[in-house]
Amino acid sequence: MDLKRLYYFSQLAKTGNFTKAADQLGIAQSALSTSIKKLEQQLELKLINRTERQMSLTAEGQVLLRHTKIILEDVEQAEKELQELKGLTSGAINFGAPAMLASYYLPDALEQFKKSYPGIQINVHEAGTATLAQMLVNGELDLALIRGDREHEQIRHTLLAQDQIAACVPTNHEFAARSHITLEEFCQQPLVLFKNGYFLRETINTYCQQNKVQPNIHFETNLPELLKSMVRRKIGIGTCLPILVANDPQLKAIPFDPPIPLQLGIGWKSSHYLSTAAKAFVSFLQGTLRDQQHD
């Protein structure tokens, strides 16, 4: 089977639409349609149910898609291993990180890594930790910052840093003079929270579900600076890592009691080849975050 046709087939299955798939592939829709027809002719099987408005995979198409994903992943891993023979002079790392962690933890590590390996391209993808873990499993990322306190049968990880989740409040809020607050007290306030899928939201969701509490959410975002702005404007209080507000004179981080620890790890798919470039990047992150915690 032709690898290009399999790749086209996988993109079509992913989008569910000939026009969208052709646009993403950068080819004409007629070329995509011809490629799929030739694949069907080669296999002597119908792979696609075609209608005017949408397409779907046949049962045979579903079987081929399952194998196609494995084949394309194997080809990608082979290319990475062969790239290693050229040394760390070129290549790319697809790296995932939540927006807050990317903004506050990564700049130093990224700068140092690029100085040491200027030929290695780092493509940063922003999403919540739950989404990033799934992207690793799907083979969309080489590395990602994920929760280090959770085991996943398809992901290996190494611990990078430990911190505590805190409440983010204005300095003139009633909680600002407290040494700590409870989650019960927190959830009784108007809230500005990160969106579902982000680790700073997961603890709140779990507490509310276990205690049958309906949180009073006034605003949701995945942008750290916007969350801080909403808290300053007294729209509500939120959650944060202390580093997020360390240099902000208008905001304060108040620890929870009992404490809510965060273990930050960097993960990769256990069945994937971890390139020398990726290993070097993991080492840079470990060193940089360790130094930051000791400052």
- What pLDDT is recorded for position 233? 95
Tokens read off for 18: 């000939």
Give residue-wise pLDDT tens across range 226-264: 999 999 999 999 999 888 898 899 999 999 998 988 888
Distance CA 39, CA 37 (A): 5
Structure token digits, residue 24? 């993403």
Does residue 258 have a cis peptide bond before it, meaning omega lies within 30 degrees of 0?
Answer: yes
d(CA 47, CA 222): 39
d(CA 223, CA 230): 11
Q: Render the chain in DSSP notation, one character per residue.
A: --HHHHHHHHHHHHHS-HHHHHHHHTS-HHHHHHHHHHHHHHHTS--EEE-SS-EEE-HHHHHHHHHHHHHHHHHHHHHHHHHHTT-TTS-EEEEEE-HHHHHHTSHHHHHHHHHH-TT-EEEEEE--HHHHHHHHHTTS-SEEEEETT--BTTEEEEEEEEEEEEEEEETTSTTTT-S-B-HHHHHTS-EEEEPTTSHHHHHHHHHHHHHT----EEEEES-HHHHHHHHHTTS-BEEE-GGGTTT-TTEEEEEEEEEEEEEEEEEEETTS---HHHHHHHHHHHHHHHHHHH-
pLDDT at site 292: 58
Q: Please give the pLDDT value at position 125.
A: 92
Residue 159 pLDDT: 86
End-to-end Cα spacing for the chain: 56
Domains and CATH numbers, the chain: 3-84 (1.10.10.10), 90-160+264-293 (3.40.190.10), 162-263 (3.40.190.290)
Cα separation, 104 vs 227, whole angstroms = 14
Provide the pLDDT for residue 111: 83
- What is the model's pLDDT at position 82? 64
- Smallest Cα–Cα separation from 279: which of 288, 263, 290, 266? 266
Residue 256 CB coordination number (10 Å): 20
Residues of the chain below pLDDT 70? 51-53, 81-90, 289-295
**pLDDT tens track for 92-137:** 889 999 877 777 778 877 888 888 888 888 899 988 888 899 999 9
* 8 Å CB contact between 87 and 116: no
